[in-house]
Amino acid sequence: MRLAKMEELGEAVELYPYRYDRTHNSAEARAGEAGLVAAETVVRYPGRIMAKRGTGKTMFVPIQDEWGTLQAYFRKDELGAERFHLVQKLIDIGDWIGVEGTLFRTRTDELTIKVSDFTFLAKAIQPLPEKFHEMSLENKSRRRHLDLAMNLASRERFKRRSAIISDIRAFFAEEEFLEVETPVLQPLYGGATARPFTTHHNALDMTLYLRIADELYLKRLIVGGLERVYEIAKDFRNEGMDRTHNPEFTMLECYAAYWDYHDMMDLTENMLRRLAVRFGDEGKLTYGEHEMDFNQPFRRVRFMDALAGKVGQDLMQTDTAALKELARKHHIEVKPGMGRDKILDEFFSVLVEPELIQHTFVMDHPKELSPLAKAHRKTEGLVERFELFVAGFEVANSFSELNDPREQRRRFVAQKALMDAGDDEAQPIDEDFLAAMEQGMPPTGGMGLGIDRLVMLLVDTANIRDVLLFTHMRPEQ
């Protein structure tokens, strides 16, 4: 048993020492091989023991650090019987160790450190998982530390996510947006249609909600005179979870004074093209079986036009009764209480969305679906809004922000009516936000983008769990 060996090992070495002076990591040692070998430089390299291959008086031990693996070669005649015994018998796979020695190539041409001395760094009591088979998705998600330890591809994916988010921050800095932080705990939720998580503040004895969006706070900043703001933050929605949904997820929202949704569309297009160039293949992306070329201008299509193309007739003037009749014909489910625009949305998600593989901006949505968007400047009944679809799912959502407080109040009241009618995703009236808007809000363009889905797209993975380090799962047992 490992605990028994630990005691014996503990008599010879410090089991949990405090620090280690590294001269090279595995990537640096590989890159500098020629010089290091020629000069017989002594390197000090720490990492985790991933395997042990012994031949009695020698040991080959692959040691893994964040960047990869470097093999260490221990010899009994070099280290002495006692020290060699430690490596051979008492040190286990999973333990952390620092080795010191010179680099050479073995007979089989593997870059190796010939160990002149070593420092024990930390003991592992539990063994690492078996190495020949992929861990199950459940095990990977539930025990991410093991997934990261065993799968370099998984590490790479998460490092890539980090790099993508850093690059988005750099992009917004170049565009002169200010990064801000707004409350997670909110007395009222809003900015999206979704059910919230509820919590309680003891000192104030009041109900608080975990935010479902940052929108209403970011717009207050626009009112306050900060002209370009953005936030990358977790939102929380109390809804189902599946391949593309997690109850907490990372959202990017940005707002710019004096812009409309056309400006936001350009910004979104520029940002995605830049990411595709930096993280894809020169602007081309492969997602599953699909190929997309972000160098090409993004397709732009009006919501009602896309729908007309599918249904074979313009639905702009079609009344609700006729729509319901059409829905039956297309096997589209209409639930009681669904308004005309909601039915149109249903048509859209069933008929159009699945076919939006290539990056496409869908523009000018029906009004009822967008309580925070400004009415279309030309077409009655529509709003100035766009959604970006890629590979069949929605990545971004944007509008010319409604800034007329009288109209905003009417929309809130309409939402309230929906809520009273039993729609538990409708938004409550936010008087505080309305008061801010009444102080005068400049014309503003706003955009929200799901970071997790964007990362899925850029690293070509079908499951949101692959891009979230820790996902929500039921507790075991």
Partner RNA sequence: GGGCCACUAGCUCAUCAGGUAGAGCAUCUCCCUUUUAAGGAGGUUGUGCUGGGUUCGAGUCCCGGGUGGCCUACCA
Sites of contact with RNA (CB under 7 A): 1-2, 5, 51-58, 60, 62, 71, 75-77, 89, 92-93, 104, 106-110, 112, 127, 129-133, 135-139, 141, 191-194, 212-213, 215, 237, 239-240, 242-245, 251, 333, 346, 349-350, 394, 397, 425, 448, 462-463, 473-474, 476
Q: Which is nearer to RNA, 2 or 310 (CB)?
A: 2
Q: Helix or strand or coil: residue 411? A: helix
Distance CA 197, CA 472 (A): 14
Which parts of 21-110 are beta strand (E)?
Answer: 43-49, 53-54, 58-65, 68-75, 96-105
> Residue 302 is inside which H or E element, if any?
strand 299-302
Q: Which is nearer to RNA, 106 or 270 (CB)?
A: 106
The least distance separating RNA from the CB of residue 415, rounded to whole angstroms, comes to 12
Q: Which is nearer to RNA, 292 or 396 (CB)?
A: 396
The least distance separating RNA from the CB of residue 475, rounded to whole angstroms, comes to 8
Distance CA 78, CA 82 (A): 11
The least distance separating RNA from the CB of residue 78, rounded to whole angstroms, comes to 8
Q: Which residues contact 392 (CB under 8 A, 6 or more apart)?
A: 353, 354, 355, 356, 357
Q: Which is nearer to RNA, 146 or 375 (CB)?
A: 146
Q: Which is nearer to RNA, 420 or 476 (CB)?
A: 476
Q: Which pair of structure tokens corresponds to residue 435? A: 């008061």
Distance of CA 177 to the CA centre of its chain: 21
Distance CA 336, CA 431 (A): 30
The least distance separating RNA from the CB of residue 115, rounded to whole angstroms, comes to 12
| 323 within 8 A of 315, measured Cβ to Cβ | yes
The least distance separating RNA from the CB of residue 238, rounded to whole angstroms, comes to 9
Q: What are phi and psi of 152, to 5 degrees?
A: -65, -30
Q: Which is nearer to RNA, 19 or 331 (CB)?
A: 331
The least distance separating RNA from the CB of residue 277, rounded to whole angstroms, comes to 25
Of 232, 63, 50, 65, the residue nearest 129 (C-alpha): 50
Q: Which is nearer to RNA, 212 or 315 (CB)?
A: 212
Got the DSSP string for 113-164? EEEEEEEEEE--SSPPPPSSSPPPHHHHHHTHHHHHHH-HHHHHHHHHHHHH
89 secondary structure, DSSP code: I
The least distance separating RNA from the CB of residue 243, rounded to whole angstroms, comes to 6
Q: Helix or strand or coil: residue 345? A: helix
Sheet strand arrangement including 178-179: 178-179, 228-236, 248-257, 444-450, 393-400, 385-390, 360-363, 299-302
The least distance separating RNA from the CB of residue 235, rounded to whole angstroms, comes to 7
| 449 within 8 A of 268, measured Cβ to Cβ | yes
The one-letter amino acid code at 426 reads A
The least distance separating RNA from the CB of residue 21, rounded to whole angstroms, comes to 26
Q: Helix or strand or coil: residue 426? A: coil
Q: Which is nearer to RNA, 280 or 374 (CB)?
A: 374
Q: Which is nearer to RNA, 212 or 458 (CB)?
A: 212
The least distance separating RNA from the CB of residue 229, rounded to whole angstroms, comes to 15
Of 63, 64, 53, the residue nearest 152 (C-alpha): 64
The least distance separating RNA from the CB of residue 312, rounded to whole angstroms, comes to 21
Of 382, 362, 383, the residue nearest 374 (C-alpha): 383
Q: Which is nearer to RNA, 85 or 284 (CB)?
A: 85
| 455 within 8 A of 287, measured Cβ to Cβ | no
Q: Which is nearer to RNA, 175 or 425 (CB)?
A: 425
Q: Which is nearer to RNA, 110 or 355 (CB)?
A: 110
The least distance separating RNA from the CB of residue 18, rounded to whole angstroms, comes to 26
